[in-house]
Amino acid sequence: MARFSRQLISFFRGACLAAGSLFFFLSLPLHAEDPQPVKFAAWNLRNYLHTVEVPEKHAPRDTRPKPAAEIEAVTRILVSVRPDIAGFCEVGSPVDLAALQQRLKEVGLDLPHSEYVQAADKERHLALLSRFPIVARQPQTSLSYLLDDSKLPLQRGILDVTLQITPEWLLRCAGVHLKSRRDVPEADEALMRRNEAHLVRQYVDGILAASPETNLLLYGDFNSERNEPLYRAVTGTRGSEAYLTALTPVDADGERWTYYYPDADAYSRIDYLFASRGLMPQVVPRSPAIYSGGDWLDASDHRLISVEIMPQERTRRR
């Protein structure tokens, strides 16, 4: 009988401990530590210039104020996509960026952290808005190359910021806008763009040589299609530690073009998102997308591209 009593007491003690453990587990906040996907958007806003201040009366056509209807369309599309981070090309002054940031906040998209890069191009700039704090800024505004004995600048520079997504997880974003396809008197536009691409590649190599596991996202308007040498120059050597994978955004119809050139009535893919080897496993499958709304041309001649990233702390290599 005594033995049975001891067994019964032991049983109830174990049951109470199990119940207590279950209560403690259930009382924990569900998913408190679960990472949430982060949406990144890249977009050439097409001359997002003079949205607050007005330029001289006889400003060239491509530097005139962006029409109010286009500004409204930009705002509407960004709010519908709701990115956590947005990297832009062709932003005018810091005043234009601040006004866009405030406009978005007023309609429910608060991106309080910003970066703005002033390089050789005095009219069009790279910029970024983020929900997450910027913990490092390394803008490249004085890179140059030699072409036909002329020293030429990387016109828009490189926007380079590191964002604190979680206490343990950082995302490094590098934005570019390479030379347009317009002829210029300085040199052949294709050669200029190709040299700019090599500067970008050299910069990426430096980042990944110092830290191969960097979560690096290279984005922007590269003014080049996939079958051109520039594309291969940017991605690097396949299989190497520094290789960049081109993500493949698609729209609702499965189309991949990002830019419309009305003079030729041509559609092409010239805007890209490139992920480093460290970042690729954290790209949410099938998340790269192209904005498919019918109002895209009301805002820009480029379509917004986006991707979702799921932050995951990696086990350190030994």
Q: What is residue 4's predicted lDDT score, i.e. its pLDDT?
A: 38
In degrees to the nearest 10, what's the CA dihedral of 189, 195, 196, 198? 150
Does the structure show a pLDDT above 70 at 195? Answer: yes
**Residue 103's pLDDT band (cuts 50, 70, 90):** very high
Q: What is residue 53's predicted lDDT score, i.e. its pLDDT?
A: 86
Average pLDDT on 10-15 reads 45
Closest C-alpha among 204, 210, 215, 218 to residue 279: 215
Q: What is residue 33's predicted lDDT score, i.e. its pLDDT?
A: 61
Does the structure show a pLDDT above 80 at 282? Answer: yes
Closest C-alpha among 174, 183, 198, 180 to residue 90: 180
Does the structure show a pLDDT above 90 at 28? Answer: no
Does the structure show a pLDDT above 50 at 9? Answer: no
| pLDDT greater at residue 118 or residue 30 | 118
Does the structure show a pLDDT above 80 at 19? Answer: no
Average pLDDT in the chain? 90
Residues 6 or more apart whose Cβ sits within 8 Å of residue 178: 156, 193, 196, 197, 200, 220, 221, 222, 223, 224, 230
Q: What is residue 35's predicted lDDT score, i.e. its pLDDT?
A: 79
Does the structure show a pLDDT above 80 at 244? Answer: yes
Does the structure show a pLDDT above 60 at 316? Answer: no
Does the structure show a pLDDT above 70 at 255? Answer: yes
Residues 6 or more apart whose Cβ sits within 8 Å of residue 176: 126, 156, 158, 159, 196, 200, 218, 219, 220, 221, 222
Q: List the single range of 59-63, 92-96, 227-231 with lowest mean pLDDT.
A: 59-63
Q: What is residue 61's predicted lDDT score, i.e. its pLDDT?
A: 75
Give the tens place of pLDDT for each residue, 153-193. 999 999 999 999 999 999 999 999 999 999 998 899 999 99
Average pLDDT on 102-127 reads 98
| pLDDT greater at residue 71 or residue 24 | 71
**Residue 1's pLDDT band (cuts 50, 70, 90):** very low
Sheet holding 245-246, edge to edge: 134-137, 159-164, 170-177, 216-221, 271-275, 245-246
Average pLDDT on 186-202 reads 96
Does the structure show a pLDDT above 50 at 277? Answer: yes
Q: What is residue 314's predicted lDDT score, i.e. its pLDDT?
A: 62
Kindly list the structural domains of the chain, giving each domain's residue range(s) and its CATH number in brackets, ordered by start. Answer: 38-309 (3.60.10.10)
